[in-house]
Amino acid sequence: MEQSSNNRTSLAVAILLLIMAIAVLVTAYDFRGGSGIFPRFIGWIFVGLTFTECLIQLKVVLSPSASSAFNESTLVKNKIIKEFQGVFWIVFFLILLYLTGFLIGIPLYIFSFLRLSAKRTYKQSIIMSVTATILVYVLFIQLLQYRLFQGILFGA
Amino acid sequence: MFESLLTAFSYLLSDGINFIYLALGVVVGVLFGIIPGLGGATAIALLLPLTFGMAPEQAIILMGGVMGAVSAGGAVTAILLNTPGTAPNAATCFDGYPLTKQGKAGLAIGAAASASAIGGAFGLIILVMVLPVAKTVVLWFGPPAFFMLALLGLTSLTVSSGNMLRGLIAACIGLFIGFVGYDEIGGTERYTGGSDYLWDGLSIVPVLIGLFAIAEMLVLFVKGGSITEAGSQSSIRFTDTLQGIKATLKNIKIVMSGSVIGTLIGAVPGIGGVVASFMSYSFASQITKDDNNFGKGDIRGVIAPESANNAKDGGGLIPTLAFGVPGTAEMALFLGVLILHGLNPGPMLLIEREYTIFVLILTMLGATILSTAFICMAAYYLVRIAYIDSSILIPSVISVSLVGAYAVHNTIGDVFAAAFFGLLGYLMIRYDYPRITLVIALVLCSLMERNYTQSMIMFEGNWTGFFSDNTALVLFLCSIFALCIPLLQALIKKRKNPGGTIE
């Protein structure tokens, strides 16, 4: 059942890639002068390859062995939920960084992640987030003299 | 020449401060190699002001220490965290990280460090031998040969990736990512979507950080636990590192082929260490017949790129010292250090200050040995990273990686780019598209396009001109051969087992 789900998503990925290949090829025809020669050449190869991949995946999906009823197992659902959670934490960190910069964003992110996702104690979460921030501060700001991004809320 | 060598040697031993400068350079080099996003160029730039009051030779000792050590340091994070410390260490991730997952991080670090040392020494020996005839060697490679060299790297790596069709698709994606930005030849913006950030194209470091570090942290988040489930912290032994050194010595052919590739590619300005290590990796993958486990944790997949990575420094010094043409950003900065101290690179430098060149060569040799010893000793403690629980490791690695991505150009766009490529990398792992071919295509893109265009201008639009260049023709035939290898392997299998079918 998990295999059936994988086959369908692999076909969806192949179709998506084919659409992307067509889009970049069409765009390459708008480039002036010599700028489009190489992208057009590679673009046609890209379309051909993704089309072949689509055919292969379609054949796999349509084959009798893969036509069993599509019913996602709990295992697959849990994996997908975990994947969305993983993406959520990265997006959350990016938003924090953009708003508050590195020196505030890093401790907030690490603390939230450890408390809410890893279910660590307050003590562990605070120690980890403060240690990581001090490390970044000492290494990048004090020793290497970098000006780290301060976030749009603090004048960046 | 021997007189200059002896003078340089006695100069190095004449004052204890020389050794302190060398040790400082090595420590800074290893640390800057380990921290993703920094690397040798940053280390040289930051140490440059320190050299103002030094004698030229002392400045060279400090910088030589950095250059000799940075590559070896970069391998550590590539192996332990799948995060290349410097861009040329990216190829080390492909087998180094799977070895860490199998609980063999010590073995991988020992092999990487020793391969680096041998490769580095080899590159420097070649430098000494080739300097008098360097010009001829570099001139073998015109635009058609460069294009074919890049094509060979791409095709051989695609073949060795296991899934040729998906490997080629990933290579196309890599090339299109490489097209992003302002094209100087045609004067057109390509695939920027009007974004100012994309005007200069995507920087390689955030892309690598995303594809490897962030993508792997996502995998670890979904999987849970620690990087390795094999063994425990109590099972870590110092002898693991020694086993790695033994593995390097056992695979001396791979070390030598990597060193030759690294030295040759390093000597060609503009190609850089990334191409050298990837070429060496794909070449080793092609020539390995017995138990080829490349991409899944083959120690030879660590030895090959690391030997090339360090050997390229010796090769890179050939055009830098002989013609004043730096091959990489690191070499360009080093050139700046030489000029700052009144040394003008070129043939006259080789004649007038030969012993200064030998000071540099001996320093870099010392740095490769010192950094190897330093890393081997530290490996016993470093491999414990692989046993840290993912809930601690993930936020720490993602935070430091994104700071590293930002530090390259001080732009927040690089942070978003790293995150984007992290998601792309995860999807590629999930749907079995090799990331290796995407990265090599991205690295080779500008080289391929520039040399393709130059060649077509040279041949007045007639593509058959590629075959009139002997070096290009040989490299083209090698590419065709690389593409035919899976077919040949299947045919050989069929002959051995007549009842079977060709896959």
Q: DSSP string spanning B14-69?
A: H-HHHHHHHHHHHHHHHHHHHSTT--HHHHHHHHGGGGTTS-HHHHHHHHHHHHHH
Of A39, A113, A136, the CB nearest to B403: A136
| Shortest CA distance from A132: residue in chain B | B396
The whole-number pLDDT of residue B94 equals 87
Separation between Cα atoms, residue A151 and residue A95, nearest integer Å: 10
3-class SS of residue B151: helix
| Weakest-pLDDT range from A61-75, B100-114, B278-292, B485-499 | A61-75
Contact across the interface for A46 and B412, Cβ inside 8 Å: no
CA distance B357 to chain A (A): 29
Contact across the interface for A128 and B165, Cβ inside 8 Å: no
Mean pLDDT of A66-93: 78
Q: Give the pLDDT band (50/70/90) at residue A3.
A: low
The total of structural domains in chain A comes to: 2
Contact across the interface for A13 and B422, Cβ inside 8 Å: no
3-class SS of residue B190: strand
- Among A49, A69, A89, the domain boundary falls at A69
A37 and A76: one domain? no
A95 and A125: one domain? yes
The whole-number pLDDT of residue B275 equals 78
A86 and A110: one domain? yes
Contact across the interface for B400 and A27, Cβ inside 8 Å: no
The proportion of chain B whose per-residue pLDDT surpasses 70, expressed as a percent, equals 84
Q: What is the pLDDT of residues B244-276, one digit of tens each?
A: 888 888 988 899 988 888 888 877 665 667 778
Lookup: tokens for B348: 């006259």
| Shortest CA distance from B428: residue in chain A | A13
Q: Give the pLDDT band (50/70/90) at residue A154.
A: confident
Contact across the interface for B218 and A36, Cβ inside 8 Å: no
Of B168, B176, B412, the CB nearest to A149: B412
CA distance A21 to chain B (A): 9
A79 and A136: one domain? yes
Separation between Cα atoms, residue B161 and residue B438, nearest integer Å: 11
User: Which residues of chain A are within 8 Å of residue B37 when distances are taken between CB atoms?
Assistant: none
**pTM, 2 dp:** 0.73
The whole-number pLDDT of residue B498 equals 61
The whole-number pLDDT of residue A4 equals 59
The whole-number pLDDT of residue B232 equals 60
Separation between Cα atoms, residue B349 and residue B449, nearest integer Å: 35
The whole-number pLDDT of residue A67 equals 52
Task: List CB contacts of B246: < 8 A, sequence separation 6 or more.
Answer: none
Range of the domain at A116: 72-156
Q: Which residue in the block uniquely carries the two structure tokens 């997908």?
A: A80
Chain B contacts in chain A segment 22-81 (CB below 8 A): 24, 27-28, 31-39, 42-43, 45-46, 49-50, 52-53, 56, 79
Of B191, B395, B400, the CB nearest to A109: B395
User: Which residues of chain B are within 8 Å of residue A16 when distances are taken between CB atoms?
Assistant: none
Of B392, B399, B419, the CB nearest to A106: B399
User: Which residues of chain B are within 8 Å of residue A114 when distances are taken between CB atoms?
Assistant: 391-392, 395
| Weakest-pLDDT range from B159-173, B265-279, B358-372, B389-403 | B265-279
Contact across the interface for A53 and B165, Cβ inside 8 Å: yes
A42 and A111: one domain? no
A47 and A77: one domain? no
Separation between Cα atoms, residue B111 and residue B63, nearest integer Å: 25
Chain B contacts in chain A segment 91-120 (CB below 8 A): 91, 93-94, 97-98, 102, 106, 109-110, 113-114, 117-118, 120
- More confident site: B329 or B483: B483
Could you tell me how many CB contacts below 8 A there are between chain A and chain B?
142
A40 and A98: one domain? no
Task: Report how far apart, in Å, the C-alpha atoms of A82 and of each of A79, B216, B423 are.
Answer: 5, 14, 14
Task: List CB contacts of B155: < 8 A, sequence separation 6 or more.
Answer: B479, B482, B483
Contact by Cβ (8 Å): A156, B420: no
Q: Could you report how far apart the first and last alpha carbons of chain B are, in Å?
A: 58
Handedness of CA B249, B250, B251, B253 (dihedral sign): positive
- Among A52, A69, A86, the domain boundary falls at A69
The whole-number pLDDT of residue B203 equals 82
A3 and A60: one domain? yes
Task: List CB contacts of A29: < 8 A, sequence separation 6 or more.
Answer: A36, A40
Angle formed by the axes of helices B164-179 and A37-62, to 10°?
Answer: 140
A155 and A136: one domain? yes
Q: Give the pLDDT band (50/70/90) at residue A108.
A: very high
Of A33, A89, A135, the CB nearest to B186: A33
Share the mean pLDDT of chain B: 80
Of B190, B407, B415, the CB nearest to A31: B190
- H-helix or E-strand spanning residue B188: strand B188-190
A59 and A120: one domain? no
Residue B502 pLDDT greater than 50, yes or no: no
Residue B443 pLDDT greater than 90, yes or no: no
Separation between Cα atoms, residue B220 and residue A117, nearest integer Å: 13
Residue to substitute from A7, A35, A148, A153, interface B, most B β-carbons within 10 A:
A35
Contact across the interface for B403 and A113, Cβ inside 8 Å: no
The whole-number pLDDT of residue B136 equals 64
- Among A69, A102, A125, the domain boundary falls at A69
Contact across the interface for B169 and A46, Cβ inside 8 Å: yes
Q: What is the pLDDT of residues B448-471, one digit of tens each?
A: 888 888 888 888 878 788 888 888
Q: What is the pLDDT of residues B194-234, one digit of tens each?
A: 888 899 888 877 887 888 778 888 988 988 877 666 556 66
A30 and A89: one domain? no
Q: Is A12 on the interface with B (CB under 8 A)?
A: no
Q: Which residue in the block uniquely carries the two structure tokens 């959520």?
A: A88
Lookup: tokens for B330: 């690191």
A61 and A80: one domain? no
The whole-number pLDDT of residue B501 equals 45
Hey, how many other C-beta atoms are within 10 angstroms of the C-beta on A32?
Answer: 11
